[in-house]
Amino acid sequence: MGKVAVGAAVVCAAAVCAAAALVVRHRMKSSGKWARALSILKEFEEKCGTPSSKLKQVADAMTVEMHAGLASEGGSKLKMIISYVHNLPTGDEKGLFYALDLGGTNFRVLRVHLGGKESRVVKQEFEEVSIPAHLMTGSSDELFDYIASALAKFVATESDSQHVSPGRQRELGFTFSFPVRQTSISSGTLIKWTKGFSVEDTVGQDVVGELTKAIERAGLDMRVAALVNDTVGTLAGGRYNNPDVAAAVILGTGTNAAYVEHAHAIPKWHGLLPKSGEMVINMEWGNFRSSHLPLTEYDQALDAGSLNPGEQIFEKMISGMYLGEIVRRVLCKMAEEAAIFGDTVPPKLKIPFILRTPHTSAMHHDTSPDLKVVATKLKDILEISNTSLKLRKLIVEVCDIVATRGARLSAAGIVGILKKLGRDTVKDGEKQKSVVALDGGLYEHYTKFRTCMENTLWELLGEEASENIAVEHSMDGSGIGAALLAASHSQYIEVEEP
C-alpha cells in the first residue's frame, strides 16, 4: 500500500514539475518575445532620432536645394515654381470677388465681399458641389461646363447690395490643385491629372482657357484673374491679415510650402522684374530629399510600394497621409517577430493604410489611466481585442516616435526657408518680424504634433531669433486666399489708384 502511495506521489510531483516547467518556459518565451518587441521599438526610436545637430543639417540642405531650384529648371528635387504672384493682398482691397476651389471629387464656389482696411472681409458665402463620377473620366468640355453652370447658379444668388460696379466684369481666383505648368498669373497648362481624374483632352491645355470658354458658354461675364495653388493662397490669406507674413506651410494630408522671394534672387526668371520687387515661389517641398533625413526600413518599404517611388520623400515622412501607415508597418513587424497580438498576425493589420493618422492621433492623445481610446481603436479598426495595458503603452510610444520625427523635420524645413531669407538670425539689433502662416488638418487637429513642431522651431532658432519669428494659423487659403489674389491682381486696380 505504501509503495503505491509513494508511486502516486512521485507521479504527482513529476506532473507538477512538468506543469511548472511549462509555465516557466511560457514565461521565458513570452518575456523573450516582449524583449524582442522592445528591441524593435528601441531600434526604431534610434533610427528616427532628430537631435538638433541633425535638424540643422536638414535645414542647411533645404536652403541649398532652394538655391539650386531657383537657379535652373530641374536643378533640384525642389521644383521652386514661379507662381507669377507678385502683388500680395495689403488689406486695402475692396469689392466683390469670387473663388473656385477645384482639388478633388468636390469643388467649392465662394463669394467674398471686401471692405478695405476698415471693414476687411464684410461677408463671405460658399457652396460645395460634388462632381459626378462619369465627368471625372469624360471630356474637358463636359467637366468645365458642369463647373461653370454651378458657378452661374451661385452668381445668380447675389443679393441686391452685392453686385459688382456697373460696367465691370466679375473676377475670380481659381485654385486648381493638380500639377500645372504656370505660364502667367492667369494661365497654366495641365501636366497630368491625379486623385482619380482622367479627362485626357485637358492634359496639355491651359486650364484657365478651358474654364473661361465654359464660363462664356454659360453666359456669364466673368474673368479669371488668378490661377493659384492652395499653398500660395494660404500665403495670400496670411499676408492679408498680417503684413509680416513671409512664408506659408500646409501640413495636412499632403504638405507644401510657399514663400516671398526677392525677384532679383531668382536666376531662372528671365522676364521683367515686377514693380513690387517680390515673387511668390511655390516650393513643392514634399519632394525634398537629403542624406540627412532619418529614413528607416519602414519608410523605404512604404516608398517602394507607393505609386511614386523615389518621389515626395519628405512628404512621406511628415504628412498626414503617411504617419498612420508608418505606425501600422512598425506594429506589423512587432506582430510578426514578437507576436505582440498573439501567435497569428491580425489580418486587418496587414491592410496598407487601414490605420489613418486621425486614428493614431486619437491614440497618442489618450489620457485615460487604462488607455481606453487605444483599446477601442485597436478593436474597431484592426479587430484586436484583449490587449494588456503594457501593450497599449507600447503602441502609444510608436505613435509618439512617428509624430515627433515628423513635427521636428517640419520645423527644420521652416528654418531652411527662414535661412534662405536671412531671417534665421538677428542682425545688429534689427527687429524685423517674420510670420509663417500655417494651415492643414494635421497642424490644426494633431495637437501634440503642432506643439512639438513649434517648440522645435524655437529650439533651432535660439532665444534671440525666436523673438522675431511667429507662427499663425491661416485658414482656408484655397478659398478666401484665391479670392484675395483675384482682388490684388484685379484689372481695375490701376483705375482706382490716384
pLDDT over 90, % of the chain:
76
How far apart, in whole angstroms, are the C-alpha atoms of residue 112 and residue 479? 9
pLDDT tens for 75-126 read: 999 999 999 999 899 989 989 999 999 988 889 999 999 988 877 888 889 9
pLDDT bin (cut points 50, 70, 90) of residue 144 is very high
Q: Does 91 lie in the same domain as 73?
A: no
* Of the listed ranges 14-18, 111-115, 271-275, the one predicted with least confidence: 14-18
Q: Does 406 lie in the same domain as 345?
A: yes
Q: Does 88 lie in the same domain as 224?
A: yes
In a domain, 301, yes or no: yes
Q: Does 111 lie in the same domain as 144?
A: yes
Amino acid at 75: G
What is the pLDDT at residue 289?
97
Q: Does 263 lie in the same domain as 199?
A: no
Q: Does 176 lie in the same domain as 247?
A: no
Q: From 490, 440, 439, select the one nearest 173 (Cα to Cα).
A: 490
What is the pLDDT at residue 50?
98
The pTM of the full predicted model, rounded to 2 decimals, is: 0.88
498 pLDDT higher than 50: no
Q: From 342, 334, 329, 396, select the one nearest 40 (Cα to Cα).
A: 334
In a domain, 7, yes or no: no
In a domain, 307, yes or no: yes
CATH of the domain at 378: 3.40.367.20
Q: What is the domain extent for residue 280?
A: 51-81+242-474
How far apart, in whole angstroms, are the C-alpha atoms of residue 240 and residue 236? 6
What the block records as the C-alpha cell of 377 is: 481603436
Q: Where are the beta strands (DSSP E) in 159-219?
A: 170-176, 180-184, 187-190
pLDDT tens for 46-76 read: 999 999 999 999 999 999 999 999 999 999 9
Q: Which of these three, 228, 254, 288, is where a domain ends?
A: 228
How far apart, in whole angstroms, are the C-alpha atoms of residue 174 and residue 112? 14
Catalytic residue set? 108, 177, 230
Q: Does 258 lie in the same domain as 193?
A: no
Count up the domains in the chain and report the number: 2
pLDDT higher at 409 or 16: 409
What are the helix (H) ranges across 50-186? 52-71, 116-119, 140-155
Q: Does 340 lie in the same domain as 197?
A: no
